[in-house]
């Protein structure tokens, strides 16, 4: 004789609460259905053995939530609902690491880097913290350095305006002539063997195309041999002493 299961109205199985026997569903001698209400409000009809064994614990909403939780890494990049922190992180990654980005020359092309730990959004958020309010955006404290812990803050537009890097001196015709004369003198010195262009950058040691960097165009052979990112960074902190 099959085992009889005792299920009473009001009894709870997971998220399901029994309302009573469901007589609208065709049944056999040993298959009984119960009308149940899920905590989300949905009504379902469930077999006795599935309730008693725990195989059915909700109307299906529990499985959907578990799958969503398993597929969610941090919850900031949901389609159509990206947070301000996630958009700011995507912006610094693109500007510094994507050569095809429209502003790459002002960031990655100028030697602005991203701390390797910040390639992971969760680590970045833990270090930078959440945005205080919509009036704030991400700002580097020292514009000559990259995005790294201790050099990044959430700042207002006023604070960012006060923290801009110095503007380059205007490119006048006289300055262009001085730059051309200095570059020509360097080229002639290399050709005569008075100067030797190294294969690596003096600042970072990278083996790439090296250029001569002048602190004073009036002394054309007094140069530093730098790669282009280091040259741009050096120009930002060491303005030309003679550019008129």
Residues 105 and 57 in one domain: no
Query: Does residue 113 sit in the same domain as residue 137?
Result: yes
Do residues 23 and 62 share a domain? yes
**Span 167-182, mean pLDDT?**
78
Q: Is residue 111 part of a domain?
A: yes
Sheet of strand 43-47: strand arrangement: 12-13, 16-21, 33-38, 43-47
Host domain of residue 63: 12-71
CA separation for the pair 154, 129 (Å, rounded): 9
Q: Does residue 168 lie in a domain region?
A: no
Find out whether 212 and 184 touch, Cβ atoms under 8 Å.
no
State whether 107 and 126 are in the same domain: yes
Q: Given pLDDT bands bounded at 50, 70 and 90, which one contains residue 41?
A: confident
Q: How many structural domains compose the chain?
A: 3
Residues 24 and 53 in one domain: yes
The mean pLDDT of 60-86, rounded to a whole number, is: 71
Q: What is the mean pLDDT of residues 28-54?
A: 83
What is the DSSP code string of 209-221?
-EEEEES-TTSTT
Express each pLDDT in 143-173 by its tens digit: 888 999 999 999 998 888 887 765 566 677 8
Q: How far apart are CA 37 and CA 16, in angstroms?
A: 6
pLDDT at 52 over 90: no
Last residue of a domain, one of 23, 38, 71: 71
More confident call, 162 vs 19: 19
7 part of a folded domain: no
- Could you tell me if residue 27 is inside a domain? yes
Q: The tokens of 204 are what?
A: 């970072």
Last residue of a domain, one of 105, 128, 162: 162
Q: Give the residue from 185, 193, 195 showing the smallest Cα distance to 224.
A: 195
For 87, phi and psi rounded to 5 degrees? Answer: -65, -40
Residue 203 lies in a domain: yes
Condensed to tens digits (0 to 9), the pLDDT of residues 81-115 reads 688 888 898 999 999 999 888 888 888 888 889 99
pLDDT tier, 47 (very low <50, low <70, confident <90, very high otherwise): confident
Q: What angle do CA 35, 36, 38 make, to 5 degrees?
A: 155
User: What is the reported pLDDT for 26?
Assistant: 63
Query: Is residue 1's pLDDT more than 50?
Result: no
User: Is 138 found in the same domain as 108?
Assistant: yes
Residue after which a domain boundary falls, among 130, 162, 194: 162
Among residues 73, 102, 105, 76, the alpha carbon closest in space to that of 89 is found at 76
Residue 53 falls inside a structural domain: yes
pLDDT at 241: 46
Evaluate if residue 6 carries a pLDDT over 80.
no
Q: What is the DSSP string of 31-74?
A: --EEEEEETTS-EEEEEHHHHHHTS--SSSHHHHHHHHHHH-SS
Query: Is position 2 within any domain?
Result: no
Is the per-residue pLDDT at 28 higher than 70? no
Rg (CA), the chain: 34
What is the structure's pLDDT at 74?
Answer: 60
CA pair distance 110, 1, nearest whole angstrom: 83
Question: What does the alpha-carbon distance between residue 59 and residue 242 come to, in Å, rounded to a whole number?
Answer: 77
């Amino acid at each position: 004789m099959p085992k009889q299961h005792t299920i009473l109205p009001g009894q709870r199985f997971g998220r399901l609460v029994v309302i009573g026997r469901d007589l609208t569903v065709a049944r056999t001698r040993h298959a009984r259905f119960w009308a149940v209400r899920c905590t989300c409000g949905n009504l379902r009809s469930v077999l006795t053995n599935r309730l008693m064994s725990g195989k059915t614990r909700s109307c299906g909403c529990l499985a959907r939530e578990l799958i969503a939780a398993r597929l969610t890494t941090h919850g900031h990049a949901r389609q159509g609902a990206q947070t301000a922190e996630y958009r700011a992180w995507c912006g610094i990654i693109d500007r510094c690491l994507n050569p095809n980005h429209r502003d790459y020359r002002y960031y990655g092309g100028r030697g602005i880097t991203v701390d390797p730990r910040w390639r992971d959004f969760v680590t970045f958020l833990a270090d930078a913290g959440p945005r205080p309010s919509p009036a704030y955006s991400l700002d580097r404290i020292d514009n000559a350095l990259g995005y790294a812990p201790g050099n990044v803050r959430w700042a207002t537009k006023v604070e960012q305006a006060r923290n801009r890097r110095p503007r380059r001196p205007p490119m006048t015709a006289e300055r262009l002539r001085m730059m051309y004369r200095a570059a020509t003198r360097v080229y002639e010195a290399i050709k005569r063997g008075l100067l030797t262009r190294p294969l690596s950058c003096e600042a970072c040691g990278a083996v790439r195309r090296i250029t001569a960097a002048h602190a004073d165009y009036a002394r054309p052979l007094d140069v530093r041999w730098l790669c282009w990112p280091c040259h741009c960074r050096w120009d930002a902190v060491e303005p030309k002493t003679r550019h008129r």
